[in-house]
Amino acid sequence: MDSEKKILAKYQSYFEKIDQEVEKALTSRVSLIEEIGGHTLLGGGKRLRPLFFILSCELCGFHDEILYRLSTIFEYIHTASLLHDDVLDNANIRRKKPSANHLWGNHAAVLEGDFLYSKSFCVAVEAGNVSFLKLITNTTTQMAEGQILELLHTNDWNMNRDMYLDIINAKTAVLISAACAAGGILSSADPKEIEALQKFGHLVGMAFQIMDDLLDYTSDQAVFGKPVGKDIREGKITLPLIYALEGMSDEEKKLIQELFEQREPSNEEYQDLIDLVRRNGVLQKVQSDAQKYVDEAALCLDGFPDSPARENFLELNRFIIERHY
Ligand code: FPP
Ligand code: MG
């Protein structure tokens, strides 16, 4: 835990500048928008996506003064998607605080998401770069697709690893990938460099979501900032459960499936399934999958000369699988 805090503390000056810009662009003539926005965006969140964007700009030599303002795009899109996600999940807690939907209701939370989402495009236009805009709009389109795919596979006991990877790529990895590629696009870098950064971000994003889904089985709420064991309660069959099911006989699988399909399981029944996954030995396998993504991500930066930005990218890449929240 301490080492995690230490790593992130190193980026404090980046986070401060990002936060200033996040706050600045949050203004609206409607005070409720600022109130919900302040609650959701300020004083919480790791700011990893804007940081990845800044590092990608540093790596590719894009030093425009608009940099930090542009970095807010990635936090706004991320937060907009979480506002919507919490409505879909009926979640009460986000980033160690009551969620916006819990405090202000679903309607206000969805509309606040729409505001932040639209605001991100207002800021993106300021870059005056069509390729950058294409990247952002393709990203949010894929995120919506990912979320709908996840919806379609809710309580899908036949969910397999490939489908799971497809979903987490779309809902999570594409935004991290875009943040990492954006510096290359804005500085008109060599297409091979842009591709390498895009791939790096994709792999980091995959590791990030796999760890998030693993922590849902292994962490505790005080550290994780949201309840644990919530994926299965939301009908989300993620990698730990996919692997656990793969290791079961058809009969065992059928028994569990029937129990969960016939009626809303009790708290104890959910807990039994979570414990079963925990005991199953699959958590190590999930962690090692995340490790493989992280290792492959590091290789993507081989073509870039040594620089502080490259070192920072590599350090944050390692942080992804060490984090506990
Ligand atoms: C959280 O994942 C949710 C996402 C990463 C993506 C949500 C995407 C959308 C709602 C669609 C796109 C919307 C916009 C505005 C671009 P999770 O549910 O696994 O994590 P959690 O456990 O923190 O809820
Ligand atoms: Mg969710």
Q: Domain ranges for the chain, please list them.
A: 3-315
Residues 6 or more apart from 296 whose CB is under 8 A from it? 203
Low-confidence ranges of the chain (pLDDT < 70): 1-2, 324-325
Q: What is the pLDDT of residue 177?
A: 98
Alpha carbon of residue 5 to chain centroid? 19
Q: Tell me the C-alpha distance between 229 and 158, whole Å.
A: 20
Q: Tell me the C-alpha distance between 45 and 53, whole Å.
A: 16
- In ligand 1, which atom is closest to the CA atom of 85? 10
Q: For ligand 1, say whether the CB of 69 is within 6 Å of any of its atoms.
A: no
CB 147, CB 175: distance < 8 Å: no
Candidates 114, 143, 148, 208: which one to mutate for ligand 1, based on the most atoms within 8 Å of Cβ?
Answer: 143
Q: For ligand 1, say whether the CB of 219 is within 6 Å of any of its atoms.
A: no
CB 156, CB 237: distance < 8 Å: yes
What's the angle, vertex CA 248, arms to CA 247 and CA 254, rounded to 5?
145
Q: Tell me the C-alpha distance between 283 and 266, whole Å.
A: 24
Residue with the smallest CA separation from ligand 1 atom 14 is: 81
Alpha carbon of residue 113 to chain centroid? 16
Which residue type sits at 39? H
Handedness of CA 126, 127, 130, 134 (dihedral sign): negative
Neighbours of ion ligand 2 (CB under 5 A): 85, 89
Q: What is the pLDDT of residues 293-306, one digit of tens each?
A: 999 999 999 999 99
Residues 231/146/81/295 CA torsion (nearest 10 deg): 80
Q: What is the pLDDT of residue 255?
A: 85
Query: The tokens of 264 are what?
Result: 């809303």
The structure's pTM equals 0.95
Q: What is the pLDDT of residue 1?
A: 58
Q: What is the pLDDT of residue 188?
A: 96
Give the right CATH number for 3-315 from 3.90.950.20, 3.60.15.10, 1.10.600.10, 2.30.110.10. Answer: 1.10.600.10
Q: For ligand 1, say whether the CB of 205 is within 6 Å of any of its atoms.
A: no
Q: What is the pLDDT of residues 53-107, one digit of tens each?
A: 999 999 999 998 899 999 999 999 999 999 999 999 999 999 889 999 999 999 9
SS3 of the chain: the string is CHHHHHHHHCCHHHHHHHHHHHHHCCCCCCHHHHHHHHHHHCCCCCCHHHHHHHHHHHHHCCCCCCHHHHHHHHHHHHHHHHHHHHHHHCCCEECCEECHHHHHCHHHHHHHHHHHHHHHHHHHHCCCCHHHHHHHHHHHHHHHHHHHHHHHCCCCCCCCHHHHHHHHHHHHHHHHHHHHHHHHHHCCCCHHHHHHHHHHHHHHHHHHHHHHHHHHHHCCHHHHCCCCCHHHHCCCCCHHHHHHHHCCCHHHHHHHHHHHHHCCCCHHHHHHHHHHHHHCCHHHHHHHHHHHHHHHHHHHHHHCCCCHHHHHHHHHHHHHHHCCC
Q: For ligand 1, say whether the CB of 147 is within 6 Å of any of its atoms.
A: yes
Residue with the smallest CA separation from ligand 1 atom 11 is: 144
Q: Tell me the C-alpha distance between 220 and 311, whole Å.
A: 31
Alpha carbon of residue 256 to chain centroid? 30
Phi first, then psi: give them for residue 98, nearest 5 degrees. -60, 140
Residue with the smallest CA separation from ligand 1 atom 17 is: 85
Phi first, then psi: give them for residue 105, nearest 5 degrees. 95, 165
